């Protein structure tokens, strides 16, 4: 999946166990969907907290950050409670959505690649960013794209 592609429709439970569909999330404006490998790990915590810290900027751009990993609902709930993210964390325990977005790893301990998609009306991908090492790059690049469109 890359810029210009149409993101697949999906519904996953968030950290509260509430089903959330991509189409429903898009009703409020663009969605910044960021895939992360595992809740509660240092890199993923830094990345998710950076999205949280830029919440006002994303709101001003009319966009909603949404995190997604293969963690269970309970683990996502603990992660959200510990860091007060204020945006949905979706649980993809079987990795089906990660696979649909082509961010599922074929081999290795870490099942999901770190990649972010800015998704607009009609589920069109407006931009895609990846960085395994720069935890701020995802939110910063997504915000830059939103401000410049």
Instruction: Catalogue the active-site residues.
Output: 44
Of the candidates 103, 122, 124, the one whose C-alpha atom is nearest the C-alpha of residue 113 is 103
Would you say 114 and 37 are in contact if contact means Cβ atoms under 8 Å apart?
yes
- Of residues 71, 67, 14, 79, the one with CA closest to residue 40: 79
Q: How many CB atoms lie within 10 A of CB 14?
A: 21
What crossing angle do the helices spanning 137-147 and 42-53 adopt, rounded to 10°? 30
């Amino acid at each position: 999946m890359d810029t210009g592609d149409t993101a697949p429709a999906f519904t996953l439970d968030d950290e509260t166990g509430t089903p959330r569909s991509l189409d429903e999330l898009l009703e409020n404006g663009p969605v910044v969907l960021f895939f992360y490998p595992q809740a509660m790990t240092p890199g993923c915590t830094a990345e998710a907290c950076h999205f949280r810290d830029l919440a006002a900027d994303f709101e001003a751009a009319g966009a909603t950050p949404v995190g997604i990993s293969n963690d269970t609902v309970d683990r996502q709930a603990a992660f959200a409670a510990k860091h007060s993210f204020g945006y949905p964390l979706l649980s993809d325990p079987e990795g089906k959505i990660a696979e649909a977005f082509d961010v599922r790893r074929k081999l290795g301990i870490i099942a999901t690649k770190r990649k972010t998609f800015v998704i607009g009306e009609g589920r069109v991908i407006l931009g895609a960013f990846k960085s395994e090492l720069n935890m701020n790059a995802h939110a910063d690049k997504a915000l830059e794209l939103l401000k410049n469109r």
